[in-house]
Chain A
Amino acid sequence: MSNPVLYNYDLDENCYKVRLLLSCLGIEAETIAVDVFPGNEHLSPAIRAMSPKGSLPVLKQGDLVLHEAEAILAWLARSQKPDKGFLPNDPDTFAHVMMWLAFSARELDVAVRARVTAMMDAPGDIDALRSGAREALRIMEDHMTRQHFDDVEYVAGARATIADIALFPSFALSRDYNIDHDAFPALRRWARAVRRIDGFITMPGIPDYH
């Protein structure tokens, strides 16, 4: 089977989720750069033929074309290296992963928008977006606080799943939209655990410590 093709913009956190999982799975992908800012290339007919809203990332493998990061993460985890456990089969853990993927797509959307408003000139009420993002991060903080009471280091259990991959960027990049990490001790501990996953890579805005 040929390598998957990823339509990618390096500064897009949803594209980073896919790059991060590909790296953790040890899969090579062919990457096609899309000039989102300032080029607006994601709104071109070629991209919109694959992703109607022009949202990135888009992943292609043969005839299969996927958009929405959460779907791509699930497909990669299930089809490429299922033994790595990023999408567990156990029904309870599977459901928790789904719950946090939905949270990532819905509640954390304000965090994604806060960042592009703060950094890339996208329209939006930055104060309202930031306040919504903080609310979502607090829910994650409360959840990880409970996990840590049981010495559980990841969102859906003792091992990293695609839920961790999906939630990580909004916290790791929160300083881009002016929310510091001061008020989130449980998320700081969790972010250190995410950084320990084999194959972990960063993106611009998420520092490499060396």
Chain B
Amino acid sequence: MSLRDWYPLALSRDITPGTSAGTRVEGHEFVVWRDAGGAAHIWEDRCPHRGMKMSFGFVRGDHIACLYHGWQYDSEGQCRHIPAHPDLDVPATIRIARFAVLEAGGIIWGCFNEVDGNLPRAPELPAATTPVRSLFIDCPAQRLTALIADIPFEGSAPNVTTRTGRIVGITLGDNVLIAAVQPVSGSESALHLIATGALESQHLKQISTWSEQLRREVEALTSKDNDGEIAA
């Protein structure tokens, strides 16, 4: 895997302590989970026992358990308990690949390579942000990033102020937003939306409505692109 960069995976708010969720980057499957102490973890989404997705499982304290046979792994990815063999001293070879994780701007970011000291520079985001929502869209990440500016908000076009890698700065009416774009697969993306400063519920709802329109229009355009390719 050569995904040696920081990829946005979820809003920090949406992975509460003691919960997990599956996600994909360029089609590779990962589990994002947060232990009871509040630390986020990103692992390969696969139990080494029978290949079950760890994201189907559940978190207890600082362990995540596989739903299939209850094998429990500690926060280092090491299997610590096999319910069918409660007295077994679990071999050190039974472990799950872990990846580097950081939280910035209210977003969980992962870097996918073996955990070592050489990580790319962390994404630079303001400290005071309000999470809006994550939105999953059937559109390749690059195309989505290009289309964001085209979907009007209450009659006027959004103003894209910055584009740095996967981070797009947008002014939408009076709101200053940041969209972090996750390349889920070759045909799907996730847009993780945050706002700078504090926003009231009424404004969050307006932004949400805009983002739903964005999803509709972008998917309609992408579907047209694909029909064109088939016709060609």
Contacts and interface: CB of A to CB of B under 8 A. Distances in A.
A209 B14 contact: no
A178 B101 CA distance: 28
Interface string B2-41: 0000000011001010010111100000000000000000
A87 to B, nearest CB: 27
A207 B14 CA distance: 21
Contacts of B67: 207
Tell me what chain A mostly uses at the interface: helix, strand, loop, or mixed: helix
Interface stretch (A10-18, A27-35, A179-187): A179-187
Interface stretch (B111-119, B166-174, B200-208): B200-208
Interface in A165-210: 175, 180-183, 185-186, 188-189, 192, 207, 209
Nearest to A146: B205
Nearest to A145: B133
B194 interface: no
Contacts of A186: 133
Interface residues of A, number: 17
Given A145-B208, A185-B21, A188-B19, A175 B56 contact: yes
B134 interface: yes
Interface string B32-58: 000000000000000000000001101
Interface string A117-158: 000000000000000000000000010011001100000000
Contacts of B58: 207, 209
Contact of A182 (B16, B21, B133): B21
Contacts of A207: 56, 58, 67
B212 A185 contact: no
Nearest to A182: B22
Contacts of B16: 189
A71 to B, nearest CB: 32
B190 interface: yes
Interface in A36-90: none
Interface string B178-217: 0000000000001000000000010011001000100000
B139 to A, nearest CB: 13
B201 A150 contact: yes
Contacts of A182: 21-24, 55, 136
Contacts of B14: 185, 188-189
Contacts of B133: 145, 185-186
B157 to A, nearest CB: 23
Contacts of B212: 142
Contact of A181 (B10, B21, B201, B205): B21
A181 B56 CA distance: 9
Max chain A C-beta neighbours (<10 A), residue from B19, B55, B133, B212: B133
Contacts of A145: 133, 208
Interface of B: 10-11, 14, 16, 19, 21-24, 55-56, 58, 67, 133-134, 136, 190, 201, 204-205, 208, 212
10 contacts: A146-B208, A149-B205, A175-B56, A182-B24, A185-B10, A185-B14, A186-B133, A188-B14, A189-B14, A207-B67
Given A182-B23, A183-B190, 20 more contacts: A142-B212, A146-B208, A150-B201, A180-B22, A181-B21, A181-B22, A182-B21, A182-B24, A182-B55, A185-B21, A186-B133, A188-B14, A188-B19, A188-B21, A189-B14, A192-B19, A207-B56, A207-B58, A207-B67, A209-B58
